[in-house]
């Protein structure tokens, strides 16, 4: 059995297996590091930066950074949480997120992080971008207004569904998720049971004809902040 690696997170000693990322080791130790693009069944993407921690004083993404002996990780500090809150606010203003009309409300990781970090009115101006909705598929719709470009669907479709239905196209403000067909989701082999649909952290990919299956008030983050399940471990 390989030797454990010892390091600290916010002064707490943590034991990790070689090859684990800081995020994985923290989670196993019952320490929550906020994340959006990371998902336990997918390879790390390192794109959203919500998991930013300071390693020996330098900012790193905890979902991609491997553990190393003796490193000092800062996670739950005022300075780092302010950075994370800024990132969440920027994600809110660069899309069109109308939580009160979204079926994902209460189960949405972006919304839940907004609550966790006490986000009120974002300090950045809303961009109100013009984004497309693709409702062509009989069972799934894509609402790009809510997409945060985390890439979970892109990775899940390729790695878990073996399909490659989704891909990023465009750059900068024009970047968006596109489907592997001439134009529409209906022309792909996407299925509502695909993992790609299930791993979306927001309401950008949703099954059709499902509304209030879980009533408001009983949803994942209605009573406890996101991350509480890990902190209770
Ligand atoms: Fe680590 Fe997104 S969760 S960069």
| 37 compared with 172, residue with greater pLDDT | 37
How does residue 20 score in pLDDT terms, banded at 50, 70 and 90?
Answer: very high
**pLDDT exceeds 60 at position 62:** yes
What's 60's domain CATH number? 3.10.20.740
- Residue 208 located in a structural domain: yes
Q: Which residues line ligand 1 (CB under 6 A)?
A: 35-38, 46-51, 61, 63
Whether residue 25 lies inside any domain: the answer is yes
Same domain, 33 and 114: no
- Joined tokens for residue 81: 């949480």
Indicate the pairing of strand 5-9 with strand 72-74. Answer: parallel
- State which of 32, 41, 45 you would mutate to test the pocket of ligand 1, scoring each by most atoms of that ligand within 8 A of its C-beta: 45
Vertex 88: Cα angle to 87 and 94 (nearest 5): 85
Taking only the tens place, the pLDDT of each residue in 92-118 is 999 999 999 999 999 999 999 999 999
Question: Is the residue at 177 inside a domain?
Answer: yes
- Say yes or no to pLDDT of 161 above 70: yes
Is 130 found in the same domain as 23?
Answer: no
Tell me the C-alpha to C-alpha distance, in Å, between residue 196 and each of 120, 138, 163, 191: 31, 16, 10, 9
Instruction: Return the half-sphere exposure (C-beta side, CA atoms, 13 A cut-off) of residue 131.
Output: 23
Q: pTM for the full model?
A: 0.95
Q: Where are the alpha helices (DSSP H) in 31-147?
A: 78-94, 109-116
Residues 180-233: pLDDT tens digits? 998 899 999 999 999 999 999 999 999 999 988 899 999 999 999 999 999 876
The whole domain housing 118 covers 85-218
What is the CATH number for 197? 3.30.70.20
């Amino acid at each position: 059995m390989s030797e454990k690696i010892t390091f600290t997170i916010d002064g707490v000693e943590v034991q990790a297996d070689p090859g684990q990322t800081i995020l994985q080791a923290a989670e196993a130790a019952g320490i929550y590091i906020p994340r959006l693009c990371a998902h336990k069944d997918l390879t790390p993407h390192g794109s959203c930066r919500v998991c930013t921690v300071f390693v020996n004083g330098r900012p790193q993404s905890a979902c991609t950074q491997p553990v190393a002996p003796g490193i000092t990780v800062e996670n739950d500090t005022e300075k780092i949480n302010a950075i994370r809150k800024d990132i969440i606010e920027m994600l809110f203003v660069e899309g069109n997120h109308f939580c009160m009309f979204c079926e994902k409300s209460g189960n949405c990781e972006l919304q839940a992080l907004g609550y966790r970090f006490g986000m009120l009115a974002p300090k950045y101006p809303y961009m109100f971008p013009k984004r497309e909705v693709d409702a062509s598929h009989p069972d799934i719709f894509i609402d790009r207004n809510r997409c945060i470009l985390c890439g979970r669907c892109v990775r899940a479709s390729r790695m878990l569904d073996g399909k490659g239905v989704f891909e990023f196209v465009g750059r900068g403000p024009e970047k968006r998720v596109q489907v592997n067909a001439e134009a529409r989701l209906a022309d792909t082999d996407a299925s509502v049971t695909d993992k790609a649909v299930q791993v979306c952290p927001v309401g950008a990919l949703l099954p059709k004809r499902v509304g209030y299956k879980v009533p408001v008030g009983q949803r994942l983050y209605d009573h406890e902040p996101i991350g509480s399940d890990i902190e209770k471990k």
